C-alpha cells in the first residue's frame, strides 16, 4: 500500500488553514479556522463516499463507513483533532518536504537558524531513507493532528473503494479544541455509536499508547498592595515579584524539561501581572494519581509558605481536573490493544507500547464509556517550529488502520 501522494496532498492542504486553538476564548470551538477546516473535511468525506456525514453546531465532524461483513462485528471509531497548539504560530503555514533523508541535518530555515539535527532530535535517525515534512521555520507544521486527519480520510477512501476488504461498521470523528483539553466536552458518545475507538494522534512509527497522564490545570491568583516606592518599606506587596518567587521556588527536578518516561511534573508557564495583581497559569501531570496528589500538595505547601513570607498579599491556588489516565479503562478491554498490536506487526513494525507524556481525546472518551487508545502518525517535536512528520510513517499508520479493521472483523 502506498498512499504517500494522497497523504502529502491532504496534509499540505489542511496545514495551510490556521486552526490554532485559543485558551482564552469563550466560544466552542475556540477559533473560526477550526470551523473552516471542519467544513472542508465534511466535504471530503462526502466526496470519498462516506455515509451520514455531519458537522454539528460545536464543530464536530462525524461520518460512517458501512460494514462489508454480514457477521455482527463491533463498531470501531477512528478519531483525530482539527486544532493546533496555541503554543506556536499557526498562520501562513508552508509545509516543505525533504525527500530521502540521508541522516545529518535538516535545514528548516537557514534564515531563521531553525535546523533539525540527530543531536537535538535523535528520533530522526530511525527515519533514514524516508521523506520528512516540516514547516518553513516560523510556524509549527500542524501534523499534530492534521497528519491524523489525513491518515484517517486516506485509509477510509481506500476501504470504500475496496469493498472486498472485510470490516464491520466504521465511525469517523474529528474534534476541535483537543489542545486546550476541551476536545470532547460536547461529544455525544452514544450518538457516535462506536463500541471501541482509536485516536490517531501519536508520534513515531510503531508507537502505541494505552496510558496518558492524569492532568490538572493550575491557577495561582495574587492580590498585592501598591504604595509609592519611596515609602514602600513594610507597606508594599508586589504581586508580580511574588508570582516570580513562587515559580522559581518550584523544584527544578520536577519540570517537564528535567523529567522523562513516567516521571511527573508541574509546569508554571504563564505569568500576567502588575504590582496590585498577578496570575500564574500552569499544568500538573502524573501517570500515578497518588503521585499527582503529592505534587499538588508540594505546590500547596509552597503557596502556604509564601502567604507567611508576604503577609500583605492574598494568594489563592486553584486546581481543576482536566483528564485522567485512560490506562485502567483500556486494561478492562484487552482486545482493544491485542488487535492493535497485531495490526502494527502486520504492517512490518515492532509495536512500542509506551505511556503518553500528555493527553489525548481518548483519555476523556475512555471515561465516557468509549475505550480509546492512541496510534502513531509518524511525527515528532510537536507544538513548535521544529515539528516534523515522516511521510513514510504516515503511510504505515494508514496501513495499520486498514489492518486493524480487518482484525476486528474476524
Provide block-wise average pLDDT over 10 residues at a time, the chain (410 residues).
95 98 94 98 98 97 97 96 95 97 96 96 96 97 98 98 98 96 95 98 97 96 97 97 98 96 95 97 96 98 98 98 95 98 98 93 96 98 97 98 97
Helices and strands per DSSP (H, E), number in the chain: 10, 18
Q: What is the DSSP letter of 301?
A: H
Dihedral sign computed on CA atoms, order 232, 235, 240, 241:
positive
Cell 531563521 maps to which residue? 112
- Element at 97 (helix H, strand E): strand 96-98
Who's near 125: CB < 8 A, 6+ residues apart?
Answer: 103, 118
Dihedral sign computed on CA atoms, order 356, 360, 362, 367:
positive
Reduced to 3 states (helix: H, G, I; strand: E, B; else coil), residue 66 is: coil
What angle, 0 to 180 degrees and rounded to 10, lies between the N-to-C axes of helices 4-15 and 143-161? 140
State how far the alpha carbon of 144 is from the alpha carbons of 18, 35, 50, 378, in Å: 13, 17, 24, 10
Question: Is residue 178 within 8 Å of 84, Cβ to Cβ?
Answer: no
Q: What is the DSSP letter of 225?
A: B
Q: Which domains does the chain have, with CATH numbers?
A: 4-212+325-409 (3.40.630.10), 214-322 (3.30.70.360)
97 prior amide bond cis, ω within 30: no
What is the rounded distance in angstroms from the CA atom of residue 2 to the CA atom of residue 7? Answer: 9
| Number of residues in the chain | 410
Question: DSSP readout, 152-221?
Answer: HHHHHHHHHH-TTS----EEEEEES-TTTT-TTTT--HHHH--SEEEEE---STTEEEEE--EEEEEEEE
Question: Is residue 149 within 8 Å of 175, Cβ to Cβ?
Answer: no
Q: Which residues are catalytic?
A: 83, 178
- φ/ψ (deg, to 5) at 317: -110, 130
Question: Is residue 136 within 8 Å of 80, Cβ to Cβ?
Answer: no
Q: Which three cell numbers stand for residue 132?
A: 520528512
* pLDDT score for 1: 76
3-state helix, strand, coil in the chain (%, to 5): 35, 25, 40
What is the rounded distance in angstroms from the CA atom of residue 12 to the CA atom of residue 43? Answer: 17
In 3D space, the residue among 291, 303, 183, 203 whose CA is nearest the CA of residue 245 turns out to be 303
Who's near 4: CB < 8 A, 6+ residues apart?
Answer: 131, 391, 392, 394, 395
What is the rounded distance in angstroms from the CA atom of residue 32 to the CA atom of residue 172? Answer: 22
* pLDDT score for 377: 98
What is the rounded distance in angstroms from the CA atom of residue 392 to the CA atom of residue 303? Answer: 49
Per the DSSP assignment, residues forming a β-bridge with 318 are: 219
In 3D space, the residue among 97, 92, 104 whose CA is nearest the CA of residue 17 turns out to be 92
Q: Which three cell numbers stand for residue 159?
A: 476501504
Q: Which three cell numbers stand for residue 247?
A: 515559580
Query: How far is C-alpha 203 from the geometric centre of its chain's CA atoms?
Result: 10
Q: What is the DSSP letter of 184?
A: T
Q: Which pTM does this prediction carry? A: 0.91
State how far the alpha carbon of 54 is from the alpha carbons of 1, 35, 150, 188, 398, in Å: 29, 13, 18, 13, 23
Cell 496518558 maps to which residue? 212
Question: Is residue 63 within 8 Å of 80, Cβ to Cβ?
Answer: no
Who's near 57: CB < 8 A, 6+ residues apart?
Answer: none
Q: What is the DSSP letter of 171?
A: E
Amino acid at each position: 500500500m502506498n498512499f504517500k501522494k494522497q497523504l502529502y496532498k491532504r496534509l499540505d492542504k489542511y496545514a495551510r488553514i490556521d486552526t490554532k486553538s485559543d485558551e482564552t476564548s469563550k466560544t466552542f470551538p475556540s477559533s473560526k479556522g477550526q470551523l473552516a477546516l471542519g467544513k472542508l473535511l465534511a466535504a471530503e468525506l462526502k466526496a470519498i463516499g462516506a455515509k451520514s456525514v455531519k458537522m454539528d453546531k460545536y464543530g464536530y465532524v462525524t461520518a460512517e463507513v458501512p460494514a462489508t461483513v454480514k457477521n455482527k462485528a463491533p463498531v470501531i471509531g477512528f478519531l483525530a483533532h482539527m486544532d493546533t497548539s496555541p503554543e506556536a504560530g499557526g498562520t501562513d503555514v508552508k509545509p516543505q518536504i525533504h525527500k530521502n533523508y540521508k541522516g545529518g541535518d535538516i535545514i528548516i530555515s537557514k534564515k531563521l537558524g531553525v535546523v533539525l539535527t540527530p543531536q537535538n532530535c535523535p528520533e530522526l535517525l530511525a527515519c533514514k531513507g524516508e521523506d520528512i515534512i516540516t514547516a518553513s521555520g516560523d510556524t509549527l507544521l500542524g501534523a499534530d493532528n492534521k497528519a491524523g486527519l489525513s491518515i484517517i480520510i486516506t485509509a477510509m477512501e481506500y476501504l470504500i473503494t475496496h469493498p472486498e476488504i472485510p470490516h464491520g461498521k466504521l465511525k469517523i470523528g474529528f474534534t476541535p479544541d483537543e489542545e486546550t483539553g476541551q476536545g470532547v466536552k460536547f461529544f455525544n458518545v452514544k450518538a457516535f455509536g462506536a463500541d471501541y475507538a482509536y485516536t490517531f494522534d501519536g508520534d513515531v512509527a510503531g508507537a502505541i499508547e494505552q496510558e496518558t497522564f492524569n492532568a490538572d490545570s493550575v491557577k495561582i491568583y495574587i492580590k498585592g498592595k501598591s504604595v509609592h516606592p519611596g515609602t514602600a518599606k513594610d507597606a508594599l506587596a508586589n504581586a508580580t515579584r511574588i508570582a516570580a518567587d513562587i515559580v522559581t521556588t518550584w523544584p527544578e527536578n520536577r519540570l517537564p524539561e528535567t523529567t522523562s518516561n513516567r516521571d511527573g511534573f508541574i509546569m508554571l508557564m504563564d505569568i500576567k501581572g502588575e504590582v496590585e495583581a498577578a496570575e500564574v497559569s500552569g499544568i500538573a501531570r502524573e501517570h500515578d494519581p497518588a503521585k499527582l496528589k503529592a505534587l499538588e500538595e508540594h505546590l500547596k505547601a509552597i503557596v502556604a509558605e509564601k502567604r507567611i513570607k508576604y503577609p500583605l498579599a492574598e494568594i489563592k491556588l486553584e486546581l481543576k481536573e482536566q483528564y485522567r489516565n485512560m490506562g485502567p479503562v483500556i486494561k478492562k478491554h484487552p482486545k482493544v490493544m491485542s488487535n492493535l498490536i497485531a495490526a502494527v506487526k502486520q504492517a512490518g513494525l515492532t509495536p512500542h507500547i509506551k505511556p503518553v507524556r500528555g493527553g489525548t481525546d481518548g483519555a476523556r472518551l475512555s471515561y465516557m464509556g468509549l475505550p480509546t487508545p492512541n496510534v502513531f502518525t509518524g511525527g515528532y517535536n510537536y507544538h513548535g517550529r521544529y515539528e516534523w512528520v515522516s511521510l513514510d510513517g504516515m503511510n504505515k499508520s494508514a496501513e495499520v488502520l486498514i489492518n486493524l479493521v480487518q482484525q476486528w472483523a474476524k
